[in-house]
Amino acid sequence: MKKRRYILLALLSLVVLGSCKGNTSESEKVSEGSVSHTSTGDSVPVERTITWYGADDIVITIGDEFTLLDGVRAVDTVDGDLEVVVADDDYFDSYYVSQYTIKYEATNSAGTKSTKYRMVQVVKGCNVFNGNFAMGKTYWRFDTPGGQGTFNVVNEEAVFSFTDTGSEAWSLQLYQQPGITFNAGRTYEMTFIAKSEKGRSISAGFENYNGFAMLIPGYPAMVLTSEFQTYSAIYTADADYASVKPVLYLGRGLDIDGTASKANPLDLVVDDIKVREIILPAEEKRPVFSNAGPVTVYTGDQFEALPPVTAADYKGNDISDRIERIGAIPDSIAAVTRMLVSYRVTDEEGNFNYVNRSVSYQLARDNPYNLINGEFNNGLQGWVRDVNQTNGTGAADFIDNEDGTVTVDITNGSNDNWHIQFYQSNVSIQAGKIYRVTLIAKASVERKVTIEISNPAQSYSRVATKLISLTTEYQTFLLEFKSTVTCLAKFSLLLGAQGANQVILDKFDNDMITADEATTIDLRDYEPYEVINGDFKYGYYGWTQEMTHGAEVNFIADQANEQIKIDVITPGTANWHVQVNQDGKTFTEGVTYVMTVKASALASTVITMEVTNNNGETVLARNDITLTTTLTDYTMEFTPSQTFTLGKCALLLGMSDVTTITVKNVMIGIKG
């Protein structure tokens, strides 16, 4: 594709209305927007004026379709329209934010030259930087959290090759870091051109950069052809967003995308990415859609069998035949995901409206609480592979083995366990019910892995966790828990922060059990603010054990003495790099709570008692305590200024000396 970044010359029609004969003498008078002069000689003196039009100062948004000579005219009272040239473009580039001073010139038939200066200011607005890739990869980031591929810029076009598109559209992403601003109630559209010789799909959307939350509820899988075509995503902001991330989702959307492999790389080319605000007509003039609400389906056939979406104009006339549908629905999926279909229509008067329809895609489960394909008989179906390269440096391949196992080949473990995850979402659990998670796994070296069950609806607060130690031989691990919430949970294996190695999985599933079947579970009832198993009668049940950023400790459950021990081998560089904690607590406004810790250490060392909300966003109380060789009670009071439902209590051990710490109990109660 040929691009023009600098426009130096345009030829307007030259209309010669008259001429003067004989010897000519001139006198010039310069005024804003015009040049006047008088011609004398054998003929009657003629007053001539050159007047400028369309050259007022202007502010444009980066990437707008704009050329320096569009609409600019210089008109002579005798010659009419003159040829206008850009004498100096000040290195103008509509894809680069700056203020430019443009110099225009025009000369009439009498040889009189008129000059006009114009300021053109290019501002960021809601558009992206370098959307035409004229500056290569600058401002763009290619992220591969669940797939494999390459990104290059060739002839000012973004060129991709994918050997693994992962299990969901977000498994491969192209996005910008700086962020743009959206205002509540305003509508924005991202447009781009794309093509693929293999006919694969692409999706697009916006995310809240501060919360990593999708703003458009799903992935519109748009089918590409071998020729460039224009594609788009539209969103009306439901709030003010100070930092929005425009994203192209390049992972698996349609069945064709799932064919990507090292032997069959899939191509994709993208160019001219733009974001602009679009103005919808007054609400009473907008077309109205019917049958376009969110739906849940298991196959593409189910979606296609739904009642068709219809539209009517504001007068009630049926305009369904004008609807344009954006986004295709796959016949099969590799993981539970949200697709999206966008319907757009314009009535005969030019009134435009759209609706984004969320399509929740499900895979069949034997029971709502079971995991899909828990024994990996169908390879990676149902499983999500997440390698975080935004917050870390993780790198891993997920391999479907012929013997019905899955290998996670980790080449970079990053510095936190959640930077590499293997998980399923939308697993139904109920408050008060008891569940047993079974994991059969081994590793190429001895290493630790965390089993985590969390609640996405409450900022991924943890329902249950267990830190396990893998060896080079298969072991069976059980995690039993009594759920404190009813939710669609996320069941995860956290595999990061353990260097380069391989983890081999033979089974990962969840079942419901009875209280009589439970073996290592605390069935006592607790108040919402209380610490579960704070006397460690059941070892680490109810507690999360964490070590990150190079810290190395052994978490020892001394159930015979109803206590835990933390053997600190290598401390971290911050207190939170090693911790034991519980979250999901409720702390009520105005109530005074007392946190009590009974602990000791083989050598005098400092640890931290801490109570926060929402995994650390608000610190309610924090106290450094010095442990000695004598078991001692330490207390800390706090009174929340508002009610928190995601409270977290923790012991932070990351700055401890090399020693062994014994914790006899951790309690939270109401003062008095």
pLDDT in tens, 160-198: 999 999 999 999 999 987 678 899 999 999 999 999 999
Judged against a pLDDT cut of 50, whether residue 390 lies above it is answered with yes
Mean pLDDT of 569-593: 95
Among 361, 396, 430, where does a domain finish?
361
3-state secondary structure 24-64: CCCCEEEECCEEEEEECCCCCCEEEEEEEECCCCEEEECCC
- Whether 86 maps to a domain, the answer reads yes
Mean pLDDT of 394-398: 93
Query: Residues 528, 534, 535, CA angle at the centre, nearest 5°?
Result: 145
Judged against a pLDDT cut of 70, whether residue 234 lies above it is answered with yes
Instruction: Select, from the ranges 120-129, 240-249, 355-364, 629-638, the one with the highest average predicted confidence (pLDDT).
Output: 629-638
Q: Name the band, by pLDDT with cuts 50, 70 and 90, for residue 37.
A: low
Task: Give the tokens for residue 166.
Answer: 């992962």
Contact 60, 98 (CB under 8 A): no
Domain shared by 226 and 315, yes or no: no
- Whether 70 maps to a domain, the answer reads yes
Q: Quick check: helix, strand or coil at residue 577?
A: helix
**Mean pLDDT, the chain, as a whole number?**
90
- Whether 554 maps to a domain, the answer reads yes
Tell me, what amino acid is at 99?
Answer: Q
Task: Give the tokens for residue 570.
Answer: 């290598």
Judged against a pLDDT cut of 60, whether residue 8 lies above it is answered with no
- Whether 637 maps to a domain, the answer reads yes
* Residue 307 per-residue DSSP state: P
Domain shared by 419 and 503, yes or no: yes
- Whether 20 maps to a domain, the answer reads no
Least confident among 43-52, 525-534, 631-640: 43-52
Q: What share of the chain is helix, strand, coil (3-state, %, to 5)?
A: 5, 50, 45
Q: Name the band, by pLDDT with cuts 50, 70 and 90, for residue 586.
A: very high
Determine the longest span between alpha carbons in the chain, in angstroms. 122
Taking the C-alpha atoms of residue 442 and residue 445, their distance in angstroms, rounded to an integer, is 8
Among 92, 123, 154, where does a domain finish?
123
Q: Quick check: helix, strand or coil at residue 301?
A: helix
Residue 529 CB coordination number (10 Å): 17
* Residue 614 per-residue DSSP state: G
3-state secondary structure 317-333: CECHHHCEEECECCCCC
**What Cα–Cα distance (Å) separates residue 339 from each residue in 39, 169, 357?**
73, 9, 9
The pLDDT of residue 224 is: 97
Q: Name the band, by pLDDT with cuts 50, 70 and 90, for residue 1.
A: very low
What's the number of domains the chain is made of?
A: 5
The pLDDT of residue 299 is: 86
Domain shared by 158 and 210, yes or no: yes
The pLDDT of residue 39 is: 55
Taking the C-alpha atoms of residue 512 and residue 508, their distance in angstroms, rounded to an integer, is 14
Domain shared by 337 and 431, yes or no: no
What are the beta bridge partners of residue 442? 504
Q: Name the band, by pLDDT with cuts 50, 70 and 90, for residue 129.
A: confident
The pLDDT of residue 5 is: 37
DSSP string, 159-207: EEEEEE--SSGGGSEEEESS-EEE-TT-EEEEEEEEE-TT--EEEEEEE
- Whether 548 maps to a domain, the answer reads yes
Give pLDDT tens digits for 552-566.
Answer: 999 999 999 999 999
Domain shared by 329 and 230, yes or no: no
Judged against a pLDDT cut of 60, whether residue 19 lies above it is answered with no
Taking the C-alpha atoms of residue 370 and residue 511, their distance in angstroms, rounded to an integer, is 6
Question: Smallest Cα–Cα separation from 584: which of 400, 412, 452?
Answer: 452
Taking the C-alpha atoms of residue 115 and residue 88, their distance in angstroms, rounded to an integer, is 11
Burial call 167-205: b when 16+ CB within 10 Å, e when fewer: bbbbbbbbbbeebbebeeeebbbbbbbbbbebebbbbbb
Q: Residue 436 belongs to a domain with what CATH number?
A: 2.60.120.260
What are the beta bridge partners of residue 606? 626
Give pLDDT tens digits for 198-233.
Answer: 999 999 999 998 766 899 999 999 999 999 999 999
- Whether 530 maps to a domain, the answer reads no
> Domain range spanning residue 110?
28-123
Domain shared by 332 and 407, yes or no: no
Domain shared by 78 and 153, yes or no: no
Taking the C-alpha atoms of residue 89 and residue 170, their distance in angstroms, rounded to an integer, is 42
Mean pLDDT of 372-390: 91
- Whether 248 maps to a domain, the answer reads yes
Question: Smallest Cα–Cα separation from 427: which of 542, 339, 510?
Answer: 510
Q: H or E segment at 384?
A: strand 384-387
Tell me, what amino acid is at 60?
Answer: I
**What Cα–Cα distance (Å) separates residue 642 from each residue in 589, 590, 611?**
4, 7, 14
Q: Name the band, by pLDDT with cuts 50, 70 and 90, for residue 391.
A: confident
Q: Residue 310 belongs to a domain with what CATH number?
A: 2.60.40.10
Least confident among 248-257, 423-432, 615-624: 615-624
Q: Name the band, by pLDDT with cuts 50, 70 and 90, for residue 35.
A: low
Task: Give the tokens for residue 76.
Answer: 């002579």
Sort 596 into a burial class: Cβ within 10 Å, 0-12 / 13-18 / 19+.
middle
* Residue 224 per-residue DSSP state: P
**What Cα–Cα distance (Å) separates residue 555 from each residue in 447, 505, 566, 598, 606?**
13, 23, 5, 17, 18
Taking the C-alpha atoms of residue 631 and residue 562, their distance in angstroms, rounded to an integer, is 14
Judged against a pLDDT cut of 50, whether residue 377 lies above it is answered with yes
Domain shared by 430 and 334, yes or no: no
Question: Smallest Cα–Cα separation from 185: which of 233, 245, 219, 235?
Answer: 235
Q: Name the band, by pLDDT with cuts 50, 70 and 90, for residue 599.
A: very high
The pLDDT of residue 213 is: 82
Domain shared by 269 and 296, yes or no: no
Give pLDDT tens digits for 451-495.
Answer: 999 999 998 999 999 999 999 999 999 999 999 999 999 999 999
Domain shared by 564 and 662, yes or no: yes
Alpha carbon distance, N-terminus to C-terminus of the chain? 76
Q: In this structure, what are the phi and psi dihedrals at residue 301, rounded to the nearest 5 degrees? A: -60, -40
Q: In this structure, what are the phi and psi dihedrals at residue 98, rounded to the nearest 5 degrees? A: -175, 175
Query: How much of the chain, in percent, has pLDDT values that exceed 90?
Result: 82
Residues in the chain: 672
Contact 436, 479 (CB under 8 A): yes
Q: Quick check: helix, strand or coil at residue 586?
A: strand
The pLDDT of residue 298 is: 87
Among 461, 495, 513, where does a domain finish?
513
Taking the C-alpha atoms of residue 49 and residue 38, their distance in angstroms, rounded to an integer, is 9
Contact 249, 203 (CB under 8 A): yes
Judged against a pLDDT cut of 50, whether residue 11 lies above it is answered with no
Taking the C-alpha atoms of residue 409 and residue 149, their distance in angstroms, rounded to an integer, is 16
The pLDDT of residue 2 is: 37
Task: Give the tokens for residue 606.
Answer: 């400092």
Judged against a pLDDT cut of 90, whether residue 507 lies above it is answered with yes
Taking the C-alpha atoms of residue 187 and residue 179, their distance in angstroms, rounded to an integer, is 17
DSSP string, 90-154: TT--TTS-EEEEEEEEEE-TT--EEEEEEEEEEE-TTPPSSTT-TTTTTTEEEE-SS-EEEEEEE
Sort 652 into a burial class: Cβ within 10 Å, 0-12 / 13-18 / 19+.
buried
Domain shared by 106 and 38, yes or no: yes
Judged against a pLDDT cut of 50, whether residue 327 lies above it is answered with yes
Judged against a pLDDT cut of 70, whether residue 321 lies above it is answered with yes
The pLDDT of residue 240 is: 92
Burial call 349-380: b when 16+ CB within 10 Å, e when fewer: eebbbbbbbebebebebeeebbbbbbebeebb
Domain shared by 166 and 264, yes or no: yes
Taking the C-alpha atoms of residue 206 and residue 153, their distance in angstroms, rounded to an integer, is 23
